[in-house]
Structures are given as structure tokens and as C-alpha cells.
């Protein structure tokens, strides 16, 4: 399931005060990545599949509130730092439904588990997942 609108990132704290925060948010954080929910790993094979995901450049995996996600830190090709969204009137549904609640502007995130790369996950499996 696509995750942008159901979010994913656990907010540690929020100190938003600006009224026009999208104008101050350059580049727009919400356009700099995408994330997709994945199944919770249940056996050694599932953990191995997650290694395959993290073998790919820019991919990370995190778990929060028992939900697992792949996040890919690649900017949307339709984002322009001057213009903003170049396809705004016809932007995809996920962009249109991105709400104030899930806006990441100025927030810090605190996931229960976060694997930034292959080696981190490999070490976690070695130390925590039994055969």
C-alpha cells in the first residue's frame, strides 16, 4: 500500500508556527521521497527479502507502530525549487491527500526501528533473528 498519505513517520515533537510553511519549506520535504508499506517479516526468508530491498541504492526500511515501510529518498521529478510542483493541478491523489497532520515540516522523527542500509539490517538479523 502506498504510504505517503497514511503516514509512516512518527512525530517526536512539533513546533510549527508559520502560516505559510510550504513557502518556507524548500525543497519541499514531502516531495523528496516516497514510501510504501510492506508486510511485517515473519520468518528468516522475509528478513532475507528485506536485505534484497536494502541492496538497492537510496532504499531504507523502518517500522513504527507495528507497521513496516520501505522509504526511497529520491526527489519527485516534477518538483522544481523555484516553481514548486510543476504538475500541481493534476498531481497524483497521494499528493492531493497529503494533510497537515502528516506534514513533516520542522518535525523530528523517531521510528521504533530504522535500517538505513544493508549492513545495519544484516547486523540486526545476526543479533536478533534466530534460525
> Least distance in Å: CB of 101 to ligand SF4?
11
Nearest to 76 by CA among 89, 67, 88, 68: 88
Local structure of 35: helix, strand or coil? strand
**Omega before 27 within 30 of 0, i.e. cis:** yes
Q: 74 or 117, CB closer to ligand SF4?
A: 74
Rounded CA separation 38/24 (Å): 32
The cell numbers describing 48, all together, are: 532475507
Q: 54 or 76, CB closer to ligand SF4?
A: 76
Q: Which of residues 29-88 bind ligand SF4 (CB under 6 A)?
A: 29-31, 76, 78-79, 85, 87
Radius of gyration of the chain (CA): 16
Q: 54 or 70, CB closer to ligand SF4?
A: 70
Q: Which of 104, 111, 115, 121 binds ligand SF4 (CB under 6 A)?
A: 104
What is the binding site for ligand SF4 (CB under 6 A)?
21-22, 25, 28-31, 76, 78-79, 85, 87, 91-92, 95, 98, 103-105
Amino acid at each position: 500500500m502506498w504510504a505517503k498519505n497514511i503516514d509512516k513517520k512518527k512525530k517526536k515533537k512539533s513546533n510549527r508556527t508559520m502560516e505559510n510553511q510550504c513557502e518556507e519549506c524548500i525543497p519541499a520535504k514531502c516531495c523528496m521521497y516516497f514510501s510504501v508499506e510492506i508486510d511485517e517479516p515473519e520468518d528468516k526468508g522475509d528478513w532475507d527479502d528485506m536485505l534484497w530491498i536494502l541492496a538497492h541504492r537510496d532504499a531504507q526500511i523502518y517500522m513504527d507502530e507495528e507497521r513496516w515501510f520501505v522509504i526511497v529518498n529520491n526527489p519527485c521529478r516534477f518538483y522544481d525549487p523555484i516553481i514548486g510542483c510543476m504538475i500541481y493541478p493534476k498531481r497524483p491523489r497521494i499528493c492531493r491527500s497529503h494533510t497537515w497532520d502528516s506534514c513533516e515540516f520542522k518535525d523530528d522523527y523517531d521510528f521504533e526501528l530504522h535500517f538505513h542500509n544493508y549492513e545495519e539490517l544484516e547486523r540486526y538479523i545476526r543479533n536478533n533473528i534466530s534460525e
